[in-house]
Amino acid sequence: MLGTIGTFANTIKAGSTVWSAGAYDALSAKLIEEAGFKSVMSTGFGISASHLGQPDMELYTMSENLDVVSKIVDAVSVPVVADTDTGYGNAINVMRTVREFERAGVAAMIFEDQESPKRCPCVANQIEIVSIEEGVAKISAAISARQSENTLIIARTDAVDEGEAIERGQAYAAAGADLVQPISKCFTDFEGLQRLRESVGVPLSLQILGWLETDLTAVQIEEVAGLAVFPLVALMTATAALRMNLGHLAEAHSTERLPNSVTPMNEFKSFIGFEELEAVQDRFLVGSK
């Protein structure tokens, strides 16, 4: 894993783009890896929805997030980028968060400059952000706490004014952030993202949501981004498929003519690793043969 994390960091620092998708648990992470993505990002929006059944408002704790992310790291062989929200407090809390998640084996962490507890900018009408001085202090603390320079620190700013976002991005990059991440509602065109990239001097981390999904080409994204993530496609796909199939089951009490196909049991058993564990059982468990 260390070699993989080093390659991930070097790829981004060299100016290439790593494409990723958002996972909300270990199974979705395995499916993202199987699809061919070179990294997996844990999505706080998805973790809150799937594990609590509640909105992304930092209702879960650092340790609850860490528990899910640790399982994701264990389940895949590609680098994992962790959504670590606000760091769960002040700069001292950020330092503990970095140590815990780095120990779990993540390749990168995303810290945002919202007040804690945060609100998801996808849905919140109003977002409060910390002062630029506090935001810089938290990124500096994260840089100080990491054990390896290959563990990337991504500074997200939730500023919605372009000028303020650029100012904050520059300050966070100067504090040591390896990438800067804007929120999608701040910029409205590719030229704005270019201005941000040129101003901060480090690659951008882009969550491909809203207008970024519909208006940008992959070539444009790769021009400015070191990390490009589709954060919610897995969650929304699973939700749509489950809603349709379960609705049919509740009405028809039959699996015939389900709206969406289901994975055959033998195929799923192979994907999830039954064969490997059965081989381990045969080797080590007394009386298993």
The ranges assigned to domains in the chain are 2-232, 239-284
Pairwise CA distance, residues 180 & 256, whole Å: 49
122 is catalytic: no
Instruction: Please state the length of the chain.
Output: 289
Write down the H helix ranges in 82-217: 91-104, 132-145, 162-174, 190-200, 211-215
Pairwise CA distance, residues 100 & 112, whole Å: 18
β-partners of residue 154 are: 110, 179
The reported pLDDT for the residue numbered 57 is 87
Pairwise CA distance, residues 119 & 125, whole Å: 9
CATH level 2 (architecture), domain 2-232: Alpha-Beta Barrel (3.20)
112 with 156: CB under 8 angstroms?
Answer: yes
The reported pLDDT for the residue numbered 209 is 95
The reported pLDDT for the residue numbered 286 is 83
Q: Which two tokens stand for residue 240?
A: 């749509």
User: Model pTM greater than 0.85?
Assistant: yes
Write down the H helix ranges in the chain: 2-13, 26-35, 44-47, 62-75, 91-104, 132-145, 162-174, 190-200, 211-215, 218-224, 233-252, 265-272, 274-284
Count of other CB atoms within 10 angstroms of residue 109: 25
Among 75, 91, 120, 142, the one annotated catalytic: 120
The reported pLDDT for the residue numbered 116 is 83
List, run by run, the mean pLDDT of 10-residue segments along the chain (289 residues).
83 97 98 97 97 91 97 98 96 98 98 85 73 98 98 97 97 98 94 98 97 97 98 98 98 97 96 94 82
